[in-house]
Structure 1
């Protein structure tokens, strides 16, 4: 892990806010499941439920993300001793709160619920995809600005371009991951022959989650973990903007894989103007 001080490890967890995050997030997940079940019945596809399952299973990979991006979930009691977090497992000495799985489902599967069918039907344009990307970035920022501001967890690395305690580059990477997973998930949905084929979303999630965050975020990851004297805030600024730029390119690339609109709704070709014959004088 990066340059984490003992103060970060011994920082007390706000258990009241931990309860808010736990119960509120799992309540939202329950609503998502109800919506997914209704969609499954009306559209005769398990796609929406499988997207929720894929994000939930993929949450077990969160510790890899935590190590790379210097994320620490607070676990200390008021006296600095560990054991305050309601966690379901620990990896790399980082506790994983119960709400990490619900948080994954909300952040990464929600777009499949509200935009998946639109993409499937070929009604999503490149502009629409970028609009959803910005919406997902904004949602990520709101959630994590709150989380990092109420003593639930922190990004302790030497980030630049923070909103409060939250590094903006993280929100951009998360929003990009949502776009990559959603577009790939819909492409799988369109190609499988049976409902069980949508189970391919389960491996697709970590491929886009880890591939997107590490593949697009490697400039900021390396910049954060350079050893002295190589490390400097200027390099972190550069890594931040390079990763953000790579994210924009990735969303642009994902837009190339959007399904085409139905033939009966495709714009009709524009007929050339009639050519007037010149009448001889």
Structure 2
């Protein structure tokens, strides 16, 4: 069985790229979220971004399950360690860039009644591509690795990870849109801070359960890991399909533009 690469040297140049690049993009994303919120008179988009960033404090759970290790030799920018995995400070900005960026536009389109099931599938594909590119750069650039016996790797990146990430993003976006539609007070939108980790682990530890168990079996089997990866990919695709079927429920009132009426339900939801 592979073991954590605790002595693998960290590429400090790649760390700098991931840190400053992702935090710079996060500031841009927050500015866009503020602008969108001002237009529609809602904190919804900003809260979606902040919820993703706060949820990154639970990243060690994911690392333990998916056998991910951030290289932690001298020079690492880290702020805490859990489950034996030091956490880089760019995980919070990485969550915003990878997950919240797509989710806010999906939720916005759902709220406006302009997103179809086919459109959601397209967003899932975009998210898969974004996650794959980001992680392939980080992995091959020497910042971290998935050290477990994963199957179906592309440039050292396990395909199952990308599909699960796409599922988690669309699920969060759809559930967030439902919350926004049903909210009767602005404070209800704070539920996003719970919804993000719930949908994150629902997808990754729910649909991803077969591959997580296979990765950590006492007796390693490459064939079993491959089969479990296929099962987890299928489960993630079912989640995406299920989320797509929820869209007509969310936009059942069929409005094409947000309605803002002080003190009424529609006004708070947007």
Please report the TM-score for the alignment, with normalisation by the length of structure 1: 0.87
Q: State the 1:28 CA deviation.
A: 0.2
Matched, 1:165 2:156: yes
**What aligned pairs does 1:231-250 form with structure 2 within 5 A after superposition?**
231-250=220-239
Q: What is the CA–CA distance in structure 1 between the aligned matches of 2:132 and 2:106, rounded to whole Å?
A: 20
Structure 1 partner of 2:38: 41
- Cα RMSD after superposing both structures: 1.4
Do the aligned residues in 1 keep the contact of 2:68 with 2:146 (CA within 8 Å)? yes
The structure 1 residue matched to 2:166, chosen from 175, 190, 193, is 175
Matched, 1:18 2:7: no
CA displacement 1:237-259 (0-9 Å, x = unmatched): 10111000001111111112112
Aligned residues: 254
* Bigger helix fraction: 2
Do the aligned residues in 2 keep the contact of 1:123 with 1:261 (CA within 8 Å)? no
Q: State the 1:264 CA deviation.
A: 7.6
**Secondary structure in structure 1 of the residue aligned to 2:113:** coil
| Alignment CA distance shift 1:263-1:101 (3 Å) | closer
CA displacement 1:20-51 (0-9 Å, x = unmatched): 10000000000011111111111001110000
The structure 2 residue matched to 1:97, chosen from 88, 91, 100, is 88
Do the aligned residues in 1 keep the contact of 2:103 with 2:170 (CA within 8 Å)? no
The structure 2 residue matched to 1:116, chosen from 107, 110, 113, is 107
Q: What is the CA–CA distance in structure 2 between the aligned matches of 1:236 and 1:220, rounded to whole Å?
A: 6
Matched, 1:151 2:148: no
Do the aligned residues in 2 keep the contact of 1:144 with 1:166 (CA within 8 Å)? yes
**Secondary structure in structure 2 of the residue aligned to 1:95:** strand
**What aligned pairs does 1:74-223 form with structure 2 within 5 A after superposition?**
74-77=71-74, 84-223=75-214
Q: What is the CA–CA distance in structure 1 between the aligned matches of 2:177 and 2:244, rounded to whole Å?
A: 12
Say which one has the larger Rg.
1
**Secondary structure in structure 2 of the residue aligned to 1:257:** helix
Deviates more, 1:64-73 or 1:36-45: 36-45
Do the aligned residues in 2 keep the contact of 1:14 with 1:151 (CA within 8 Å)? yes
Q: State the 1:69 CA deviation.
A: 0.3
